[in-house]
Amino acid sequence: MIVLIFTGGTISMRHDPVAGGAVPALTGRDILALAPGIDRYADLEVDDFGAFPGPHMTVDRVWALRGRIAAHLARPEVDGIVLTHGTDSMEETAYFMARSLDTDKPIVFTGAMRTSSDLGWDGSANLAASIITAASDDARGLGVLVVMGDRVFSALDVTKVHTHMPDAFESPGLGPLGVVDDGRVIVRRSAHFGLPVLAPAAPAQPVDIVYAWEGADARLLDASRATARGVVVAAMGRGNVPPLMAEGIERWIADGKPVVIASRALRGRVGHTYGYPGGGRRLFEAGALFAGSRRPQQARIDLMLALGAGVDVKTVFDG
């Protein structure tokens, strides 16, 4: 049996003339009614968690969703889980689950880029492909997945790369794990990164992301330092920031609060290449941690989970 957890997103939306745009309007059963015959792929159970647009998801909601998923996974009759989710934050929620849940049962996130009011609504096809994936023996042990447009991605490396096209998701530099073709899952690569699961009693909050840009100073870093538990710096290129921003990072470190350096680039790792003021090597030597190839939003989740679990964050961010 596959449990379908509906959390909202564009897949649940219709155009509302009063609001002037798309708003959540469909329950899980409403969505299934728009996809007749979808139950032929597996026995299905519906769980309506909520009707949230992607930007309305919060850490507390994601944590509650994690608890809901864990409860279903503990049921022996459940073979896998499919979740509908807003695409704007899907990669973050999926990554959160990938880093904090340990199971061989498939957990598959999906959604839609077009509403049910639009020609070419992609919700039913994405939902069908996700159910096929969750019910497939070939998906067991692959970790948390995102299925969009018949492509199967690992939650550990997928990101949204387009604002509105149906093929909006990619794993930059890696590609999908596989595809759904003619009713079956074809796996083309593995998804084993060797990252330990982080399962705190609750994630630490708040943890912020501060972006670097040409000529950036430390104002945002200093403002964040007053209340945040930790910060991720979305640095330039290999992990470099302007000199004035580096001074703000040093103040964070002096306060004993963790600073994680990620890159705003979509591909590649941060590293020790540059030794000028604000360069990655200088930041590392000052005590900043390196996120490796993790994108800023991924590093933020890992930092929240690590701080919440009380583990040494240096063991999570080893560069």
10 is catalytic: yes
**What are the Cα distances from residue 134, in Å, to 5, 169, 178, 249?**
13, 19, 13, 43
* Nearest-angstrom CA–CA distance, 310 and 307: 5
C-beta separation of 110 from 87 below 8 A: no
Residue 146 carries which side chain, given as an amino acid letter? Answer: V
* Nearest-angstrom CA–CA distance, 25 and 178: 32
* Of 296, 289, 282, residue with least CA distance to 235: 296
* Of 149, 106, 145, 108, residue with least CA distance to 126: 149
- In sequence order, the 6+-apart residues with CB closer than 8 A to the CB of 124 are 31, 34, 35, 38
Options 7, 10, 110, 133, the catalytic residue: 10
Q: Which amino acids are annotated catalytic?
A: 10
